[in-house]
Amino acid sequence: MVNSLSPRIAPSILAADFANLGKEITAIDIAGADWVHIDVMDGHFVPNITIGPAVIKSLRHYTELPFDVHLMISPVDPMIEAFAEAGADTISVHPESGPNLHRTLQTIRNLKKRAGIVLNPATPINNIDQVIDIVDLILVMTVNPGFGGQKFISSQLNKIRSIRKIIDQHVSKGGASIDLEVDGGIDAKTSKLAIQAGADALVAGTAVFSGGPDCYAENINSLRGNSANYQ
């Protein structure tokens, strides 16, 4: 079953003007973003370094939109609490970023935050088997993590379709709903493919922030598609 609602759009501030992050966040809020996607990289788990909890805390004043925090750091466990305190709403982690994924997700939930699991292109779907009861979001990477502006890896569409089925079965058996988010190389064309495959939330950096603030509303709208028509 494909979600008939418009997908949530989560602009990745990795593609924003880092010298003006507060203003950029206000601009995407006004432009109709649903979540703010924040990519946290440590130069070790992925080959790039971005921002940490102090910056996220200072950005918290610029919007009431949920902060969708994607942690690409290892080991991840010692930093979870700091991101929760900084104002994250969803905290998503890669199975490879710590020794005990179930414990990491429990820690996020115990801090009253939404817990997400992130699957890299080479990470198998069965990583979600034993944790589906404690996740609020499954994030499928359609690029290898570390950089914005990469090409969408279309082999991941089958993974999105399979996870859509798993989530629908889970919900039909009485399980809580789980967001299916896709991250990497999303533009007006690939967003449609991801939605057709069953995604209900889309991360986009380059496609949202290109052209500057005057273009953000149009850029965001172009990613939504007419999801009700897709199968």
Binding region for ligand DX5 (CB under 6 A): 12, 14-15, 37, 39, 70, 143, 145-146, 148-150, 183-186, 203-207
| Integer Cα distance of 83 and 71 in angstroms | 9
Smallest gap from residue 87 Cβ to ligand DX5 (A): 18
| Integer Cα distance of 208 and 215 in angstroms | 8
Nearer to Zn ion, 71 or 168 (CB): 71
Smallest gap from residue 187 Cβ to ligand DX5 (A): 8
State the catalytic residues: 39, 183
H-helix segments, 53-197: 53-59, 80-86, 101-110, 156-172, 188-197
Smallest gap from residue 124 Cβ to Zn ion (A): 20
Q: What is the CA radius of gyration of the chain?
A: 16
According to DSSP, the β-strands at 90-93 and 137-141 are: unpaired
| Integer Cα distance of 170 and 174 in angstroms | 7
Nearer to ligand DX5, 25 or 168 (CB): 25
Owner of token pair 């909890």: 53
Nearer to ligand DX5, 115 or 140 (CB): 140
Quick one: what does residue 53 bind among ligand DX5, Zn ion, none, with the CB cut-off 5 to 8 Å set by partner type?
Answer: none
Owner of token pair 């570390």: 146
Smallest gap from residue 16 Cβ to ligand DX5 (A): 10
The residue ranges that bind Zn ion (CB under 5 A) are 39, 70, 183
Quick one: what does residue 146 bind among ligand DX5, Zn ion, none, with the CB cut-off 5 to 8 Å set by partner type?
Answer: ligand DX5
